Structure formats: C-alpha cells, structure tokens
Structure 1
Amino acid sequence: MKLIKLTAISAAVLASSAALAAEPVIVVDGNEAVVYEAEPVAVAYQAQPGYAYNADAGVVRNTTGAVVGGTKTFFQTVTHPAAISAEVGTLGYGANIGWALNDKTELQAGWAGGDVADLFGGDFDVNDINYDVDSDFSNPYLGVQLRPMANWFTMGAGIIVPDNDIDVTANAEGTFFKIDGIQYNAAQTGTLSGTVEHRNKLAPYATIGFRPNITNNFGLFGELGAAYLGKTDATVRSSNPNADVNFTNAQGQPDSIKGSAVAEKAQAQLEDKDYLEWMPIVKVGATYRF
C-alpha cells in the first residue's frame, strides 16, 4: 500500500514540476515526512540575434570588434565588406568598399580619378585669362561615414592622398593676353601652357549627404563637401620664350618684354588663385549592400 502511495505521489510531482520549477515538495505519509526535490524541466530557447539591424540605415553587417577581435575576426571582416559603391564626381570616377561597425558608423576605403576636366566644363578663369584644362586625377582615400540619426542622413570625414595632374593652356582674348591689367600681344607671346600641382600630399575632407535604400540590397547616395589641398605650384611656359612681346605699360608708354616673362606673370597668377586650395566634393553613386 505504501509503495502504491509513493508511486502515485511521484507521478503527481512530475506532472506539476513545470509549474513548481525547482521548489521542493513535502509529502507526509503517516508519521513520516518525505521531501521530494523537483527536477528542473529542460526548456529549449530560440537564440535571438545579437544585433537587430535597422533596414532604413542600410547597414547589414555588424563588424564590431573587427580591429580588436583578433586576427581571424579582422581577416573575415576585411574579406567580407558590408557594402561596395560606385561613384562619379569632382574627384573623378571610382569606387569604395565599406565595413560597418554598427548601424551608425561605417569605415570606407576608395579611389576616384581619371580625366574629370569635363565635369568642370573643361576650362576655368584666372583673373582675365581663360584656361583650357586637361586633367588626370588619382585620389585614393580613407574615411568614416557616420549616420548620426541612424537613417539616410550621413556625415563623412577622412583623408585623401591626391596625385592629380592638371594641364592648362591659356586662351587669348582676341589678339592679346591680359595679365594684371596689361595687354600683351598674343601672336608674339605664342602659346602659354603649363601645369598646376597641389602641394599637400595628404588632404583632409568633410562631407554631408544622403544614402537612402531602394531595396534590401541596393541604394543610392549623394554627397557635398570639400577637401583642403593647399597652395599650388604652377609652371607656365611660352612657345616663344625669346620673342619680344609688345605692350603698353601703366604710364601709357609702349614697351616690350620677352615671351618667357609673360609666362612668368601668368604663372604667378595661377599660384595666387586661392580657390584652387579647396577642391569641392560633389558626387553621386549607387551602393550594393551584402
């Protein structure tokens, strides 16, 4: 009889163990008090993802700890970027790769370059001289793209390593080149041509922009900003360096100088042009996110 009671009691304890959890059960049988310890029931839990991505932010790979998480993690992060982008703008035609640290921060490495003079219209004015421009840009860059509100609005900053070749050819204004208010005979001067090179080997930049998603994987972007390239070194040469070039001086008297001297005056103007210190950044592109 006692065995039957104990069997029935044990079955009741097991049936109620899920509700009682780990609480002990005391059963009194006659004059004896017996304590039964309920065994915990094994429950299978569905593991939740460690990070929930905001689709509006467009960041689909969390690579937090890429730098400090060990060699294996770093290698996996480098070889598995969060996004790749194609771009076109004032720095040239190019592409970049992005690694997302979280839904607000993305590291970028990219390159932009090529002949982009046509994007500026192919010419520019320096005081009274108009120059045709032929360019060969190379602008590798490293930067950080921030989404301060975890949405489509972005702020960027970084460093460009510029290696831009800019060739210029002066266009005469009628029959003369006008430099510092003086008109020099264009036929006697010959062709004025040269190069412009920025002095900075590292150029900091900053941008603001937008990066909306079109689908789960594809998005567009646009950015506005500037890079500080520093002062310029210019070289201008005359095709008739030894020719006498006639002009009327400030006193209204006829005078002449060599063609090389006219080139030197044009060169000084190019180097003094302050706006060449800042390279405007305007670019648009498309992004594929993994």
Structure 2
Amino acid sequence: MKSLHKILAISVLATAAGSAMAADQTVVTDEGVSTFSFFKPAAVRAEVGTTGYGGAISWSANPYVGVTLGYNGGDISWSDDLSINGSKYDLDMDNNLTYLNAEIRPWANWFYVAAGVGYIDNDYEVDRRIPAGEEFSVNGVDFVATSDSRINGKLSYKNNIAPYVGIGFSPAITDRWGIFGEVGAFYNGNPRVNLTATGTAIPDPDSGVIADFNDQVQREEEDIRNDNEYEWLPVAKLGVSFRF
C-alpha cells in the first residue's frame, strides 16, 4: 500500500511539473532572465447553439483540467419544425439550461472532452395545421382531413438534472482571444408531453385501416413519452472566448 501511495504521489508531482513546463517559457529580456506564462486560467465566453444563446465562465487548474459554468436560454431554434413519428410539427422553443462541466485536455492543446451535469427547464410548443382535403399521417396511420384540422401541444423537460458528455475544440486566435465549438448530449429522460386534436379526419380509404383521428393523436403522445429517441437532448454550439 505504501508503494502504491508513493507511485501516486510521484505521478501527481510529474503531472504538476509537466503542466508548469507546458505553461511557462523562459525568455531573456533587457533586464535579465524572466518567465512568461502562456497559461491563463480564467476565461469568459459567449456561445450560441441548439440549446439557445448565453455565456460561460471557466477556470483551469492547469493546462489539462478545467471547469466551466454556463447558461443557455432564449427562444432560438435551428429548425422551424420537429419530426415526431414521421409527422412534421411547427416548433417554438423556450430554452432554460444551466450547466457545470469538467473539461479534460489529454494533450494540453485545443482538443477537450467535457463531462458534467445540467439543470434543464426547456419548453417546446408544437403545432400542426392540416387544411381540409389534405392527406396526412398520425402515429403512422394515414388520414384525410374532412375539415380544417389541427394538432398542437407542448413538450417539456422540467426541473431535470441531466448528466452530459461531449467533445470540443478551442483554438486560440491570439494570446487572449479564441474560438470554440462543442457537440454532445444530455441524458434527460423522456419529456412531458400533451397533444390536442381539433377538427375531423377519416382514415385514408386506400389504406384499408380502421382508426380514429383523436385516438391516434393520443397514441402518438404516449409514444413520445416512452420512446427512447426523445431521452437525449443533443447539443451543438459555437462561440468566442477571452482569457484573462
């Protein structure tokens, strides 16, 4: 056990020494020899992506390990529609996400792996309007609208604490300014959802299926609650950073 402790202590000291060597450079000035540090531990950044827009603050213990606390919000969305079981809905997003990540840089360069946790309180309004006479499908069943019809409702990820994994890059442009990009996903569990149908529709005569419009809307709602496709919240974002 003592040998193991010694090995661990030596490993920690070696990592610290390597970090210091990577962080500092000895230079000769008119006044003599001095040390210049390339490693700036504190940074702020502005970001925009699939989870909204916002910012973050970062602190790095060394060039290999850092932590980032950030917030994304707003009604920004990268797509105006959402596909659910092949049905296209108009989408209106209201993002509210706070996250805390550890960022590991295996080679002390621009590449990093992020792991952390997020507090997610996102709302999604979905809406689908079908003019009379139009063919459409719900829950995989084909219908024909006999009047102007509509399916609308909400999906929400409320008060959820979700683990996160991702990968990113953050190359420097100058000794203080940089850019970054990141992709990943929160494991969020299934959303809360409710869908309401108005209007009337009959099954497509060519399909030979007997089905009720309102019943299929409720089945689609239940599928969303239980389908693991909606358990993951994907993340993709870009931004700029400034180091102090």
TM over 0.5: yes
Matches within 5 A, 1:103-114: 103-114=63-74
Deviation at 1:122, TM superposition (A): 1.0
The answer for the alignment partner of 2:84 in structure 1 is: 126
SS in 2 for 1:231: coil
The answer for the alignment partner of 2:239 in structure 1 is: 285
Q: Where does structure 1 lack aligned partners over 5 or more consecutive residues?
A: 1-50, 62-81
Matches within 5 A, 1:10-159: 54=23, 59-61=39-41, 82-117=42-77, 119=78, 121-159=79-117
Q: TM-score, normalised by structure 1?
A: 0.65
Q: Identify the range of structure 1 (265-274 vs 130-139) with the bigger mean alpha-carbon deviation.
A: 265-274
State the Cα deviation string for residues 176-221 of structure 1 (Å, max 9, x = none). 3312443233344721001112367111111111111111111111
Query: CA, structure 1 residues 111+251, in 2 after alignment: closer, same or farther (shift >3 Å)?
Result: closer
- Kept in 2, the 8 Å contact 1:58–1:212? The answer is no
- Bigger relative contact order (CA 8 A; separation at least 6): 2
Matches within 5 A, 1:187-266: 187-188=146-147, 190-198=149-157, 201-240=160-199, 245-247=201-203, 252=208, 257=212, 260-266=214-220
- Kept in 2, the 8 Å contact 1:94–1:112? The answer is yes
Deviation at 1:262, TM superposition (A): 4.2
**Percent of aligned positions that are identical:** 32
Structure (1/2) with the larger strand percentage: 2
Q: Where does structure 2 lack aligned partners over 5 or more consecutive residues?
A: 1-19, 26-36
- Kept in 2, the 8 Å contact 1:104–1:147? The answer is yes
Query: CA, structure 1 residues 141+58, in 2 after alignment: closer, same or farther (shift >3 Å)?
Result: farther
How many residue pairs match? The answer is 214
Query: CA, structure 1 residues 189+265, in 2 after alignment: closer, same or farther (shift >3 Å)?
Result: farther
Deviation at 1:53, TM superposition (A): 6.0
State the 4+ residue runs in structure 1 displaced beyond 6 angstroms: 55-58
Query: CA, structure 1 residues 102+256, in 2 after alignment: closer, same or farther (shift >3 Å)?
Result: closer
Deviation at 1:112, TM superposition (A): 0.7
- Kept in 1, the 8 Å contact 2:168–2:180? The answer is yes
The structure that has the greater radius of gyration is 1
Query: CA, structure 1 residues 167+251, in 2 after alignment: closer, same or farther (shift >3 Å)?
Result: closer
SS in 1 for 2:184: strand
